[in-house]
Amino acid sequence: MDAVSPFRVVHAVCSHDCPDSCGVLVTVNPEGRAVKIQGDPAHPVTQGFLCAKVAKYLDRVYSPERILYPLKRKPGVPKGPLRKGYEQEAFERISWDEALDSIATRLMQISNEHGPESILPYSYAGTIGVLGYGSMDRRFFHRLGASRLDRTICSEAGGVAWSLVYGKKIGIAPEDFRHSKLILAWGSNIHGNNVHLWPFIEQARRDGARLIVIDPYRTRTAALADWHISIRPGTDAALALGMMHVILNEGLEDRAYIAEMTQGFDRLAERAREYAPQRVAALTGMTAAEIEQLAREYATTHPTAIRLNYGVQRSENGGANIRAIAMLPAITGAWRHRGGGAVLSTSGAFAWNRQALELPNLQFASPLGREARLVNMSTLGHALIELGSNPDDGPPVHALFVYNSNPGAVAPNQNAVRQGLARPDLFTVAHDLFFTDTTDYADCILPATTFLEHIDIQGAYGHYFAQLSRQAMEPLGEARPNTWLFSQLAQRMGFSESCFRDTPEEMIRQALAIGPDGHSANNGMEHITLEELEKRGHIPLAFHRRPGEHPFLPNASGSLPTPSGKVEFYSESLAAAGLDPLPAFNPPSESRWSAAANRYPLEFLGRKADNYMNSTFANLDGHRKFEARTANLLEMHAGDAQSRSIAEGDQVRVFNARGAIYLTAHVNGSVPPGVVAARLDWAKLSSEGVNVNALTSERLTDLGAGATFYSTLVEVAKA
Ligand SMILES: Nc1nc2c(c(=O)[nH]1)N[C@H]1C(S)=C(S)[C@@H](COP(=O)(O)OP(=O)(O)OC[C@H]3O[C@@H](n4cnc5c(=O)[nH]c(N)nc54)[C@H](O)[C@@H]3O)O[C@H]1N2
Ligand SMILES: Nc1nc2c(c(=O)[nH]1)N[C@H]1C(S)=C(S)[C@@H](COP(=O)(O)OP(=O)(O)OC[C@H]3O[C@@H](n4cnc5c(=O)[nH]c(N)nc54)[C@H](O)[C@@H]3O)O[C@H]1N2
Ligand code: SF4
Ligand SMILES: [Mo]
């Protein structure tokens, strides 16, 4: 803070669902208005810059489209898509008192009549702040006895797969990528989705490193790479096993690391023998020579870093794909070197006291009196339409409480989701900042805050700094944070436990497990005090204090948190569950190898936009302008367009048995033969009121029961 200036500078943290969790400095004028936002120059990963989406964040905060008051649906207005800009007409303003009372009354009625499990919370990562993501809300739904939501839509397949191999989700620190000599961005759109890793990659490249991108789509990252391998979707396990085949054939493995640190090598080696380069070439669309070259380059360069992210695990075979790739640095011993190894996510390093925040035992004080059923968020359509028709299901869903999420746009099998959301008997509440594809179906809409308007703490899934996000400004209008909403609702429901009156500051202490000496009791956070966090804004976790002093070499030595304490090439727990204990390539049910390909021969990638965050930001004109280049496009290979008599700029219908969308054909070399791609956007902004998720299915991944957005078959025809 500047002693003379009347402006305050507040340290906050970008709470969007992005690996980078940037430190943000917000300048606030004497009237309390945020006037400037910038990346924290003192944060070693943020390095003083923000992505293009958040650099113009004040447009979002002060957007005239913000919802600023509680609203209820006007009587007689049917649920369904509303024209953007005219949503307000379907609703009337009510007070928070009326909103909270009527929601509490209605939830109580539904619970009494159908059982509390007929109430389903639906939330994901609108904010990844520790409190905003899951704290008072979890307490509330536990005490209510509501169904528990299995939050699988993004990262479960990969998370489970990685943990099977290494025990926990940690990996190379972003700052250490600068030491790498070979970087593989494997299903990871670094430039679009994880831009703060990019400067470290640039630095490595200036020192002679090569960047190889393995992605079916020519991303901005791929366009900047030394080598772009345009692999066929879902075939990554075959490639990783093929690389192992070559590495082991040529004796390029690190025998000492394998002997000391791993388990199941012989059986993995036997499996890898099945993946000769010729066979892998036929699966992946690469040549055998390319597979050999990649394997040799990978095994003979040190250090090598693999940046996985969540792209490869959105495939039906996603768990096996991640497992196979994750094993590569354990074959070559890459973990021994600074800047070597791999990273899927760093989130496993943050040992927040989630138990204390979420209080799952409150379920036993609920009318249910036991642990509630789990409902998978990736099968929301099924949950809203079919759940309850089977005697073992428990009750149908009668109330849906949406916050931190926009399932009307992001959940798979959108036509089923919308059919469910449109049920007149379903009581739907949505807490959000804007009208969305979901609020169009809500009975009651509640106004939420941006990260500038509430306090929180945050970890990251792309670095190792714990951060405090201070409140920079008063909430606009009557917007309120998630913690406030669920605390208030709990009190209206008559929940008398004192935990429902905890303030955000108290919950921050609980998440940090602050002990009597003022220090955190969480593993890796023992050096953290609230005072330090307030002073500095960000503090590195203990094992990663100051880059340069203590090289952080995860998985390089010692015992790992797996059942055997080793890197597990072979998983006894998978074997015990009757699953394949080794990674393998199995063609997804929707892929060029499946029977369905006779009718729908093209593999469809409904991808994220570089300038949006899933569906977030897509309503803002400034952000839409940046995305205009790819708006409403279906990117196709020239051969696939020709064989359908489709020319550049033609209107096309993209369809399968679940739905259809209309797009403009664009032949630009961004996808290989047999693959088409389009972008995730707001459904309500399209002519038909649906987006790419009208095409995706509710089928689940091989591990973790995650969504399979990138295993989707379609056909395309001139419209
Ligand atoms: N700008 C922007 N940033 C974001 C987001 C956003 O929407 N926009 N979303 C955020 C979220 S929620 C997440 S989870 C992260 C995810 O970040 P990423 O993990 O990078 O996720 P995706 O963009 O889903 O996928 C990455 C790449 O994988 C490719 N891919 C698809 N299928 C396959 C396959 O079978 N094999 C291989 N090798 N590649 C494949 C896709 O073409 C894509 O370019 O990004 C976060 N950051
Ligand atoms: N086809 C296709 N579908 C996908 C994906 C894909 O790549 N392709 N990606 C998938 C992935 S990886 C993910 S993570 C999911 C993302 O799914 P969601 O987590 O639903 O992501 P968003 O679309 O960003 O919607 C988040 C909503 O939360 C709101 N919000 C923000 N902050 C707050 C807050 O503090 N409180 C409340 N109450 N609301 C808030 C935002 O305004 C926004 O409307 O989508 C999945 N769907
Ligand atoms: S979206 Fe990601 S890159 Fe952009 S400011 Fe937020 S954390 Fe940083
Ligand atoms: Mo995600």
| pLDDT tens per residue across span 84-110 | 999 999 999 999 999 999 999 999 999
d(C-alpha 68, C-alpha 431), whole Å: 11
| pLDDT tens per residue across span 115-132 | 999 999 999 999 999 999
Which amino acid, 287?
T
Q: How many CB atoms lie within 10 A of CB 115?
A: 18
| pLDDT of 372 strictly over 60 | yes
Which pLDDT value is given to residue 3? Answer: 61
Q: What angle do CA 450, 51, 179 make, to 5 degrees?
A: 125
d(C-alpha 700, C-alpha 486), whole Å: 31
Q: Which atom of ligand 2 is nearest to the CA of 129?
A: 35
Q: Give the chain's mean pLDDT.
A: 97
Helix axes 277-284, 236-249, angle to 10 degrees: 160
**Torsion over CA of 432, 435, 436 and 439, rounded to 10 degrees?**
80
Q: Does ligand 1 lie within 6 Å of residue 679's CB atom? A: no
In sign, the C-alpha dihedral spanning 537, 542, 547, 549 is positive
Helix (H) or strand (E) holding 403: strand 399-403
Token pair listed for 645? 């008599």
Residue written as token pair 């005239």: 64
Tell me which of 3.40.228.10, 1.20.1600.10, 3.30.300.20, 1.20.1430.10 is the CATH number of domain 157-344. Answer: 3.40.228.10
Does the 595-718 domain belong in CATH 2.40.40.20? yes
Q: Where are the domains of the chain?
A: 96-154+350-540, 157-344, 595-718
| pLDDT tens per residue across span 240-274 | 999 999 999 999 999 999 999 999 999 999 999 99
- Cβ(686)–Cβ(403) under 8 Å? no
Mean pLDDT (whole number) for 183-206: 97
* 193 C-alpha to ligand 3 centroid (Å): 8
Mean pLDDT (whole number) for 667-683: 96
Q: Does ligand 3 lie within 6 Å of residue 143's CB atom? A: no
Which pLDDT value is given to residue 551? Answer: 73
* Coil, strand or helix at 34: strand
**Range 546-550 contact pairs with CB under 8 angstroms and sequence separation of 24 or more:** 547/44, 547/173, 547/175, 547/176
Which pLDDT value is given to residue 544? Answer: 55
Q: Does ligand 2 lie within 6 Å of residue 448's CB atom? A: yes
Which pLDDT value is given to residue 478? Answer: 98
Q: Which of 16, 123, 124 to mutate to test the pocket of ligand 2 (most atoms within 8 A of CB)?
A: 124
Banded model confidence at residue 435, pLDDT cuts 50, 70, 90? very high
Q: Report CA-CA distances (Å) from 557 to 181, 344, 560, 597.
A: 21, 19, 8, 46
Banded model confidence at residue 548, pLDDT cuts 50, 70, 90? very low
**Can 157-344 and 595-718 be said to share one CATH topology?**
no
Which pLDDT value is given to residue 467? Answer: 98
| Top CATH class, 96-154+350-540 | alpha beta
Closest residue to atom 16 of ligand 1, CA basis: 310
For residue 232, the ligand closest to its alpha carbon is 1
* 487 C-alpha to ligand 1 centroid (Å): 35
